[in-house]
Amino acid sequence: MPHFSREEKVRPISQVRIRNHVPYQFFLNGQSHKIIRIMDYWRDVSEWWRGEPELWFWRVLTDRQGVYELVCHPQSNQWWVYHVYD
């Protein structure tokens, strides 16, 4: 797992469904969250000179009216919730 420097707890996502390289649904704590809008997307290379991996970030709006920041480690296809906006 990549090292996250945030004090906030980063939560693993059990399953993410992808279409055309874009997430459209994820499952968190047994609940389905359908993504209805991609609000932002970026890649972060962080401290690449120390061998830290590239991470992909997605800020999404879900059908539950939640805004989530998801992060993906593309080499391992692991996903986490990085931030939840109230």
**For the segment 35-72, what is each residue's pLDDT rounded down to a tens digit?**
999 999 999 987 878 888 899 999 999 999 899 999 99
pLDDT band at 3 (very low <50, low <70, confident <90, very high): low
- Which structural domain, as residue segments, surrounds residue 34? 11-85
How many domains does one find in the chain?
Answer: 1
Q: Kindly report the length of the chain.
A: 86
Q: Does the residue 6 lie in any domain?
A: no
Q: Does the residue 70 lie in any domain?
A: yes
- Tokens encoding 65: 């009216």
Q: Which residue is it, tokens 């874009």?
A: 22
Q: Does the residue 74 lie in any domain?
A: yes
| Contacts with 18 (C-beta within 8 Å, 6 or more apart), sequence order | 24
Q: Does the residue 3 lie in any domain?
A: no
Q: What is the mean pLDDT of residues 11-18?
A: 95
- Alpha-carbon gap, residue 68 to 61, rounded angstroms: 7
Per-residue pLDDT for 6 more than 60? no
Q: Does the residue 72 lie in any domain?
A: yes
Q: What angle do CA 86, 8, 37 make, to 5 degrees?
A: 40
